[in-house]
Amino acid sequence: MSRPFYKNRYFIVGFSSLFWLTFFDQNNFIYQYKLGQQIEELETEKSYYKEQIEKLNEQKELLTNDEDMLERFARETYLMTKDGETLFLLKERD
């Protein structure tokens, strides 16, 4: 007589191990999946910040070498004016 597969001790041990690793172990499969997703998110953030650093380095290079760009940046960003100039700020209506 042949026993059903679910009464086989190897099947029981294998299934219980898989069940334990899926739900109860400290490094279970669900936790590993969530960590993988978090790693992907961090990698995309890393690439975004690398691009931003490159843009800022280019802007820094322009500002250190070009006086006109430095003046334009100061006027636009910090609202700086020359002596005797009047600054008018216009805001758009909603």
Tell whether 85 is covered by a domain: no
Residue 27 falls within a domain, yes or no?
yes
Mean pLDDT, all residues of the chain: 88
Task: Identify the domain containing residue 70 by its residue range.
Answer: 5-75
- Structural domains counted in the chain: 1
Other beta carbons less than 10 A from residue 60's beta carbon: 10
18-60 pLDDT, tens digit each: 888 888 878 888 888 999 999 999 999 999 999 999 999 999 9
pLDDT at 41: 98
Query: Is 83 among the domain residues?
Result: no
Is 70 domain-assigned? yes
Distance CA 75, CA 80 (A): 5
Residue 58 lies in a domain: yes
**pTM score:** 0.59
Q: What angle do CA 26, 31, 37 make, to 5 degrees?
A: 155
Q: Is residue 35 part of a domain?
A: yes
Q: What is the pLDDT of residue 81?
A: 86
Give pLDDT, residue 1.
Answer: 59
Answer yes or no: is 88 within a domain: no
